Amino acid sequence: MFFLFGMRRRTRGIGRFTMACPRCGETHVQTVVGIKRIFTIFFIPLIPLPETFRATCDGCGKHHSIRQDEVPEQGVTSATS
């Protein structure tokens, strides 16, 4: 008997926020995404795991993990002319 098991990952965009980057030390606009992982057996999703969050700095391009309480409430608004 054998089992096919693995992880499925769903990514959703949270928004763009102005935050200090821990990698480059500057304040830049960062894109924040939420990553939801689900444990599967025979390609059937069974166990949802806690959502994690990742920010990508527009200045240096590096990714870093953030906690849910570090995600700001409001995103960056672009001015239209």
Question: Which residues span the domain enclosing 47?
Answer: 5-70
Contact 32, 67 (CB under 8 A): no
Q: Does 47 map to a domain?
A: yes
Q: Does 21 map to a domain?
A: yes
> Whole-angstrom Cα distance, residue 14 to residue 54?
10
What does the pLDDT read at residue 76?
59
What does the pLDDT read at residue 2?
83
Q: Does 79 map to a domain?
A: no
What does the pLDDT read at residue 69?
86
> Domains in the chain: how many in total?
1
Structure pTM? 0.74
Nearest to 10 by CA among 51, 43, 46: 51
Q: Does 61 map to a domain?
A: yes
Bridge partners, 61 (sequence order): none
Distances in Å between the Cα of 53 and the Cα atoms of 18, 61, 66, 70 are 16, 16, 5, 9
Residues 30-79 have pLDDT tens digits of 999 999 999 999 989 999 999 999 999 999 999 999 988 888 776 655 54
Q: Does 53 map to a domain?
A: yes
What does the pLDDT read at residue 39?
96
- 46-55 burial string, b = 16+ CB within 10 Å, else e? eeeeeeebbb
pLDDT at residue 80 greater than cutoff 60: no
What does the pLDDT read at residue 74?
66
